[in-house]
Amino acid sequence: MSAGAHMDFTGSVALVTGASRGVGRAVAAHLVRAGAQVVAAARTGAALDELAAEAGAQCIPFVCDLTRGGDVARLADFVRRRWGRLDALVGNAAMMGPRAHVAQLEEADWLAVMDANVSANWRLIHAFDPLLRAAPAGRAVFMTSGNGSRARMAPGRGAYAISKAALDALVRSYAAETLDSRVRAMLCNPGPLRTDMRAQAAPDEDPAILRTPDDFAPSLLRLCAASWTQTGMLYDFPQDRVLSFGAPG
């Protein structure tokens, strides 16, 4: 799949969550450079302000905690009042949680990961579905992980892998329910990238061997474009392929 480095998003409105660092920050910056108006959402205001200062006036920082329904409603109201539509939603915010076996997970850790990785993205879909439908070609892309779709689950991945499997089902359900609209919803697996989350997951790994969020971002932009027509599928960046989900065999 060709990269999206030279794509034109002039006039488009995009929302990127988890935009204060890593993948979200890179995607927001690339969308701005491609001409989009970008609402960059995260919980860390100072980091968002730094991003906006670097990216320019087309990047609008918005402090928001996606685990709070009121914050998500406030975010959707801001987009609705300003533009009346949303052309691209990039659901990137996530948390790793402890690397613990399922039976040893503390309830608070389980609930926190499921809320951040699953329920928060449901809140985004619930709040922004009308705005995506109001766009000429609404596109929703959510970051998943290979940990959630393994044939054999890896031990010790805990709530993170389970949350990503649930996210896959959530987005695929939304894709099935919007087939009669102009909305298209995709999952995206960025694979191992040089991010803080990857360092948490693989602390002994040499980050110099990994590709960066800036390497990945142009490929994600392709999924955000009006020309993208596939839905309910998985784009896998390590393989640079779009993959279908299949029934257990």
Q: What is the pLDDT of the chain when averaged over all its residues? A: 90
Render pLDDT for 196-242 as a digit per residue (tens, 0 to 9). 665 565 666 566 656 788 899 999 999 999 999 999 999 999 999 99
67 class by beta-carbon count within 10 Å (0-12 exposed, 13-18 middle, 19+ buried): middle
Contact 88, 139 (CB under 8 A): yes
The encoded tokens of residue 145 equal 């992980």
- Mean pLDDT, range 107-118, rounded to an integer: 97
Render pLDDT for 99-110 as a digit per residue (tens, 0 to 9). 889 999 999 999
**3-class SS letters over 58-120:** CEEEEECCCCCHHHHHHHHHHHHHHCCCCCEEEECCCCCCCCCCHHHCCHHHHHHHHHHHHHH
Q: What is the spatial distance between Cα 99 and Cα 97, in angstroms, rounded to a whole number?
A: 7
Q: Is beta strand 37-42 parallel, antiparallel or unpaired with respect to 59-63?
A: parallel
Strand 234-236: give its sheet, edge to edge: 59-63, 37-42, 13-17, 88-91, 139-143, 184-189, 234-236, 241-243
Beta-carbon contacts of 24 under 8 Å, excluding residues fewer than 6 positions away, are: 16, 17, 18, 40, 42, 90, 92, 93
Beta-carbon contacts of 68 under 8 Å, excluding residues fewer than 6 positions away, are: none
Render pLDDT for 121-180 as a digit per residue (tens, 0 to 9). 999 999 999 999 999 999 999 999 877 676 676 776 779 999 999 999 999 999 999 999
- Mean pLDDT, range 83-109, rounded to an integer: 94
**What integer pLDDT is reported at residue 247 of this predicted model?**
73
Render pLDDT for 15-52 as a digit per residue (tens, 0 to 9). 999 999 999 999 999 999 999 999 999 999 999 999 99
**CA of residue 43 relative to chain centroid, distance:** 15
The pTM (predicted TM-score) of the whole model is 0.91
Contact 207, 194 (CB under 8 A): yes
Higher per-residue confidence, 248 vs 244: 244
Q: What is the spatial distance between Cα 240 and Cα 163, in angstroms, rounded to a whole number?
A: 23
In CATH terms, 13-243 corresponds, of 3.40.50.720, 3.40.50.410, 3.30.70.20, 3.10.20.30, to 3.40.50.720
pLDDT for residue 245 is more than 70: yes
**What integer pLDDT is reported at residue 204 of this predicted model?**
66
What would you report as the CA-atom Rg of the chain, rounded to the nearest whole angstrom? Answer: 17
